[in-house]
Structure 1
């Protein structure tokens, strides 16, 4: 019964982990797909640098089976709570991207709004919010509800924005009727023939790419037409300004004429005064003439000065009119707008969710398979040894006239029963218990509440075939071998394997120092090499699985730790208002906590390449490259490197280079937040673990972008600060009126650690199941060892050895097997962890291999404890060996 239960447990755990973990990824996808269909989430989101119109909508709707929805909106920095908000329009008629109300209700009047549920503490239901923007008819609104939006499926991710520090904090939906603009901000598109297709399937992606190509052609044709429309709008808007400039120019011309007349009159008066002075000088003398004419001269000088001042003012007015004309000309010269098409995968949080699913799939393709392999190996060994022990019974049945089939049925049914029971239990728990447990632990991270837990036939079939192969397959293999022998041979037990001199015996000084029992132990180890290797590998496999689990637990949060302590050496980023920095710099210089600051230009940019997903990156232009190493490390992946910033070219983070298969000297194209495209040269690849970063000198920025890299941020180094100290410094900076936002790397690290919590659930399950498997494997292998050596152990008892001494023959071997198994398991665990993390890393996150010392210690200690428990059980079983039956002659 013990062996029967052990085999069922091994198969159960193998199937449980294989089916369960392999089901988590597909279940996450199915849950997201259900949410997509329930909220009618758009397939594409289109934006334009020139805004969108009904004409754009009509052009897109010409593509057959296309459903279009237009939305208004803008980015807004809310001053009271210092939140960067994404403002969208809401209408009852909206069919795409339907909102899910978590508290309150949707807007019913023009002065009501609903807000992101993650901002509930800042804007609770019933509170007021001020949205002071020219696009809106009203300024003050009441929050009447908290909502989830399918555009933001991850609760911790709200994407980029064009205000503040470039990172959005949440969203607001304002009634459509409250907008006072004819231009739309977004166009949402769904395609009829893509409905019902899973978003992650290759078929969906292929068809979507075909749709995008058609869409790109339509939008490309719209660019020139839209440019004309914008030009007309600009011309229309400029008419009052042109009229005003013309009036000013006319007034200026009149003033010039008056000035010229005055200057002419002044010249005439000067001439007359000069002639009068000459005449008086002849009559009364020069001195008396000058005294008599001093007053008229002073009046004339004052008039001259006055005319000179008027001339200066007219010149300044002419300069202003000329500048106004130039500015007006620039405003009326409209370039062709750019249309930006984002897939669903490009939305904030969606790629993280897909990455979580992909990471779990990556782990599921390695960890459970290796786990299952260990389980199958032990099961196969157990079944074959069981039949080998029954050779005499099989021989007896054959001698009594039973057919080979009748004899085989007993073992086949036994094997079939263990496989069926273990597989059914494993499938049920793996499909219906394990995935929901994982989802419950990750549920707070995403807006999905309806989790789909499904059966996947292909996984069940694979697990069932593997279980049957390990049990029924091993039975048939051994029976096929044994039933071919004659009954007489089966009735005679196999002679024990002959002992041989081992290598240790040739080391005479060492061998002489060993006592009798120690010599027997070493000889037995090498006498049954297959048993030794199987036991060591079984223990090593289980220890390795446990260590890999602890390694994953250490490695999953490590990207944030490495990024925000080793790569980013600064503690805060202060984002400034345009062209303002003096008072903010003074606050930083006067702070006791701040030890240094580095002025930089920081922008959020988007890298785009055909047949690859869009990649968001932070671009930094550094004015003082020599100081950069104190704030950001520019190491090459895997080794230390020259920290200097290249004069020509950009430094690009490793994952961005890998995503687009780039190497030194290649060129990258990217777009800024306004859709303008630029090209930079890759000069160096740097180590990076979170997101994509691009670094370049301010000189190269000016060369590549075509404008000066004006300062808009400070990277700040500081001492360790409490939350209150951080808030106090942020408030002082905000009070200067020059700072948009202050972000601390500690907060980003905490946020990142929350985002990978979903993996922790899987890791805990791995560790628990690996430990359980280790115990069952040790128990099973020790049982096999005892059953095969009953005669040997009974002989020792007959010779007068005490029970403890007999047990020690097995215990010594187990101790040696356990030590070597643990050491070998450390190697297996490290490589298993490394292999899993390669597949688990995504474009936006790289997982380094990190296994802290407690992982090694706990894995080893757990293995030793399991081994000790098994040894205690072994001792009890050895005490019960019946010496007479064990030594009974076979003949």
Structure 2
């Protein structure tokens, strides 16, 4: 083995603590960088693979009059389209009359395939399979009977449970959608043989083959799907008119025959009347008998005409278009993965930069310490490249080992950990592939921080001659520091304190690196707590400070419905009060930007502030103006609109109008536009009709809410009831999915902080070993020698923590800004435990490092350290 190679392995062995520290820092940086960056794509790919395996449709249509084979054939004319019609309805059943999404099952079905979890799929007419949620949450078992409530489409109402299944249409186990039957909330889905549903196919599912190789949450998929959707609408929209006409003709065939007969009879009676008039010489126009018969025919004609008009309304075909984003839980899952991806673009990068910066410093110090060795090799005649290769190889080994192990561990552990936690609420296959782009980036950063640092410093050192290199660098000259100029304070410091403070400012680069390391670690820990607190605060502030009602009751619209519903609500023990509003949705445009599905509230009474608090982002209350609209903060941000700007509002229930933004109100979840009745009338030139109630209720259990919703639906005046508690639970569940990632951030940040502080202190002690040995020789006790260094660490820790608080807040704010979605924005909130834990951890790490340093200094070889090198 060549001398330089031998020296390399001796160097690794002699400085194995530093070598391992470099590996650990790079490993932690790579692990977090690759692991967190891989999590978002892994979540998306796992869901994409799941829905593609189970042939989830890209587009779904619901029709009130059903689909025919001709509709299916028309949909299949679109390039790459596969269409299937299925029977679908909502029903109630079971002991508690639970609302169920009921599907007709056919063994030939190829789209939206059911995934069997237990038992088997229906094979006989009296068999049913239930959602796996019915088994886990409601206790249903194989072999039990499930009975539906009386329903005209279900002649046979009792079925035997033969299986439990999952469906790609319901990916979130906590969400099954809403309906207008039962208590308004779908509890689970079920499937019976299609022949048992006496109804036309009401659901048309369409899947496009060319979209199946694309990430279902990507912009590319959305753009391509929208193009296909436009083609599909072009083909199917004319079919709606044809379907309406065909049904109208079939439904009125008998009525038209009866009307024809009545018309013929009426003509005959009218002729008889004319004959009576002629024979009587004009003295009599009709007989009582003819008059009675004619009146009877007119009444029958009127009745048949009304029946024909009713059939025309009933047979008018309406399509409801849906895509994957409209399925329960599908969009919220995508938003969660997007938030993780947004966080991954900031947090791991900052984390890795701290790790790389400390590694760069460590490698630099290592090479500077080897000046004498470099000078010796140079004096022996070795070339610059041969000498440099020794240190480059050292750095390459440390960087490559840490980078490769950290990248692989990160890619294989963090995404799997997050997927395992998601699996409790999301039904999907775990697909984890190596994210080569992130791995290569991590390796590049690792080698720049190690090999780059070694190359830079070695090349700089090699510019000097052998004689200069074999001499130690002269110590920096002492200078008066600012503290010395404050004479009253300086005179009260003892010798050790004065030395410590002088050393702090004497070695400025070391001080800066220590502060950066401590501040960075503290900021990362604080940021982890901040992300968790801020995401949780969004739901808390929205449903505590802004939304002050507990339920929204949607009405059919008549004034009698409002009075009837309020009387029914008053019978509930939890009822406090309610206020009527006109509620609708709108598409708002400003310039080139637009926001769809904006909730529009138009209060009908003066007490609206008791139900919704409108306030500026600064906290000042807003009264609904007589002119203009109040726009929610998130919506204004998306539109780029400011107070005084005009926005274009396209209401679902009215024509398109332009209105000024009178104020912008604080809001965290959803998009809202608030109008006073006067402002609405001024713009749309008509008054509003109340179609909803905002209801304030005392605290209720889930069963109480379900019972109240069921009673309101049974009244016939209510379309549905939406409870704020259910919305908040959904938001909290979405936020909870990020908790594991935040825990990983905090733990890894703590580990990085400890390794960084230990490494920097090691460097500090190594550089000053002669100085510390001199102090020991002069008679200082072990504790006094340790405090000689520890005092500097304590000061740097305090400064680092203070700076870390500021950096942590800035970093959290930036991450939250990146993580904001179209529906949710997050306030910057870091609760006091986060600050305390971050500071305590830094103090604990400092104490541990000081303890290790104390043990090392107790056993230092003073004679060897003080030997002259010149």
Same fold at TM > 0.5: yes
Residue in structure 1 matched with residue 5 of structure 2 by the alignment: none
CA shift, 1:467, in A, is 0.8
Q: Distance in 1 between matches of 2:254 and 2:90?
A: 23
2:163 is the alignment partner of 1:145: yes
Aligned partners of 1:133, 1:611: CA distance in 2, in Å?
A: 49
- The residue that corresponds to 2:528 in the other structure is 549
- Other structure's SS at 2:123 match: coil
User: Which residue of the other structure, out of 84, 91, 97, is the alignment partner of 2:112?
Assistant: 97
CA distance in 2, matches of 1:111, 1:84: 20
Separation (CA, whole Å) in 2 of partners of 1:181 and 1:240: 26
1:876 corresponds in structure 2 to 855
CA distance, structure 2, for counterparts of residue 782 and residue 251 of structure 1: 115
How big is the shift at 1:806?
1.9
Distance across 1 between alignment mates of 2:138 and 2:254: 39
- The 8 Å contact of residues 797 and 803 in structure 1, kept in 2 or not, is answered as yes
Aligned partner of residue 667 in structure 1, secondary structure: strand
Q: The residue matched to 2:103 in structure 1 has which SS?
A: strand
Give the match for residue 186 of structure 1.
203
Q: Secondary structure at the match of 2:607?
A: helix
| Cα distance between partner residues in 2 of 1:162 and 1:734 | 7
Closer/same/farther in 2, CA of residues 582 and 214 from structure 1, 3 Å limit: closer
Aligned to 2:37: 22
2:440 aligned with 1:461, yes or no?
yes
- Residue 444 of structure 1 deviates from its aligned partner by 1.4
Match of 1:344 in 2: 324
What is the distance in 2 between the residues matched to 1:799 and 1:364?
53
What is the match of residue 484 of structure 1?
463
Distance 1:363 1:219 in 2: 42
Q: CA deviation at 1:32?
A: 1.4
What is the CA distance between 1:804 and its match in structure 2? 1.7
For residues 92-491 of structure 1, what are the structure 2 equivalents within 5 Å? 92-120=107-135, 121-122=137-138, 124-125=140-141, 126-130=144-148, 132-162=150-180, 168-182=186-200, 184-201=201-218, 203-222=220-239, 224-233=241-250, 235-236=252-253, 239=256, 325=305, 328-329=308-309, 332=312, 339-448=319-428, 450-491=429-470
TM-score under structure 2 normalisation?
0.85
Task: Pick which of 509-518 and 544-553 moved more.
Answer: 509-518
How far residue 30 of structure 1 moved from its aligned partner, in angstroms, is 1.7
Equivalent pair of 1:116/1:172 in contact (CA under 8 Å): yes
CA–CA distance in structure 1, aligned partners of residues 574 and 326 of structure 2: 39
Contact 2:97 2:149 in 1 (8 A): no
After TM superposition, list the pairs within 5 Å mapping 1:28-67 onto structure 2. 28-48=43-63, 51-67=66-82
CA distance in 1: counterparts of 2:679 and 2:95, whole angstroms: 38
Query: How far has the Cα of 1:819 moved from its partner?
Result: 0.5
Relative to structure 1, the CA distance from residue 323 to residue 554 in structure 2 (aligned partners, 3 Å threshold; closer, same or farther) is farther
Residues 390-410 of structure 1: per-residue CA shift (max 9 Å, x gap):
111221222233333333333
Cα distance change on mapping 1:727 and 1:344 into 2, 3 Å: closer
CA offset at residue 607 of structure 1? 8.4
Structure 1 counterpart of 2:13: none
Given the alignment of the two structures, is residue 771 of structure 1 paired with residue 788 of structure 2, yes or no? no
C-alpha distance after superposition, 1:705-740 (max 9, x if no partner): 999866554433244456677678678768878667
Q: Distance in 2 between matches of 1:654 and 1:489?
A: 66
2:646 is paired with a residue whose SS is coil
Determine helix, strand or coil for the equivalent of 1:17: helix
| 3-state DSSP of counterpart to 1:666 | strand
8 Å contact kept, 1:123–1:129: no
* Distance across 1 between alignment mates of 2:320 and 2:720: 27
**8 Å contact 1:165–1:740 — kept in the other structure?**
no
Match of 1:715 among 694, 704, 715: 694
Asked whether 1:758 is paired with 2:758, we answer no
Question: Equivalent residue for 2:577?
Answer: 596
The 1:747–1:196 alpha-carbon spacing in structure 2 relative to 1, beyond 3 Å, is closer
> 1:504 aligns to what?
483
Does the Cα contact within 8 Å between 2:593 and 2:640 map onto a contact in 1? no
CA distance in 2 between counterparts of 1:682 and 1:53 reads 47
Return the alpha-carbon distance in structure 2 between the equivalents of residues 617 and 165 of structure 1.
25
Instruction: Report the equivalent of 2:4.
Output: none
- Residue of structure 1 equivalent to 2:517: 538
Residue 327 to residue 655, structure 1, CA distance change in 2 (3 Å): farther
State the secondary structure of the residue aligned to 1:70: strand
Counterpart contact for 1:668–1:682, Cα < 8 Å: no
Measure the CA separation in 2 of the matches of 1:48 and 1:728: 30
**Quick one: distance in 2 between partners of 1:512 and 1:728?**
78
Judge which range, 432-441 or 199-208, deviates more. Answer: 199-208
Change (3 A) 1:151 1:660: farther
Q: Pick which of 611-620 and 474-483 moved more.
A: 611-620
Give the Cα separation in 2 of the matches to 1:670 and 1:351: 24
- CA RMSD in angstroms comes to 4.0
* CA displacement 1:149-182 (0-9 Å, x = unmatched): 1112122233454557765444333432223334
> What does residue 7 of structure 2 align with?
none
Per the alignment, residue 648 of structure 2 pairs with 667
Q: Per the alignment, do residues 137 and 736 of structure 1 end up closer, same or farther by CA in structure 2, a change over 3 Å counting?
A: closer
Cα offset, 1:461, TM superposition: 1.0
Larger radius of gyration: 1
Cα 1:136–1:220 change in 2 (3 A) is: same
Instruction: Provide the C-alpha distance between the structure 2 equivalents of 1:234 and 1:641, rounded to a whole number of angstroms.
Output: 60
Asked if the contact 2:587/2:649 (under 8 Å) is kept, the reply is no
Post-superposition Cα deviations, 1:603-655, rounded to whole Å, max 9, x if no partner, equal 6788899999995555544322x21111112234x223444335566655444
Distance 1:247 1:519, change over 3 A: farther
Structure 1: gaps spanning 5 or more residues: 258-306
Q: 1:284 maps to which residue?
A: none
What does residue 293 of structure 1 align with?
none
- Bigger shift: residues 598-607 or 98-107: 598-607
Q: Tell me how far apart the structure 2 counterparts of residues 702 and 140 of structure 1 sit (CA, whole Å).
A: 53
CA displacement at 1:454 relative to structure 2? 1.0
Per-residue CA deviations over 1:522-567 (Å, capped at 9, x if unaligned) read 2222212111111111100000000001111212222221221112
Shift of 1:58: 2.4
Compared with structure 1, are the counterparts of its residues 62 and 758 closer, same or farther at alpha carbon in structure 2 (3 Å cutoff)? same
1:79 deviation in Å?
9.5
Shift in Å, 1:316: 13
Match of 1:793 among 769, 772, 794: 772
Cα distance, 1:186 vs structure 2: 2.4
Q: Matches of 2:568 and 2:482 in 1, distance apart?
A: 76
Is the 1:652–1:682 Cα contact (8 Å) retained in structure 2? no
Q: Which residue of 1 aligns with 2:22?
A: 7
1:863 shift after superposition: 0.6
2:624 to 645, 659, 662: 645
Look up the SS of the partner of 1:861 in the other structure. Answer: helix
Counterpart in 1 of 2:828?
Answer: 849
Cα 1:83–1:645, aligned 2, differ >3 Å: closer, same or farther? farther
Per-residue CA deviation, residues 255-301 of structure 1 (Å, 9 max, x unaligned), is x99xxxxxxxxxxxxxxxxxxxxxxxxxxxxxxxxxxxxxxxxxxxx
**Count of paired positions:** 832
The worse-fitting range, judged by mean Cα deviation, of 125-134 and 723-732 is 723-732
Q: Distance in 2 between matches of 1:888 and 1:73?
A: 90
Quote the offset at 1:870 in angstroms. Answer: 0.4
What is the rounded CA distance, in whole Å, between the counterparts of 1:692 and 1:397 in structure 2? 71
Relative distance call for 1:123 and 1:603 in structure 2 (3 A) is farther
- Deviation at residue 436 of structure 1 after TM alignment: 0.8
- Consecutive unaligned residues of structure 2, counting only runs of 5 or more, are 1-15, 275-287
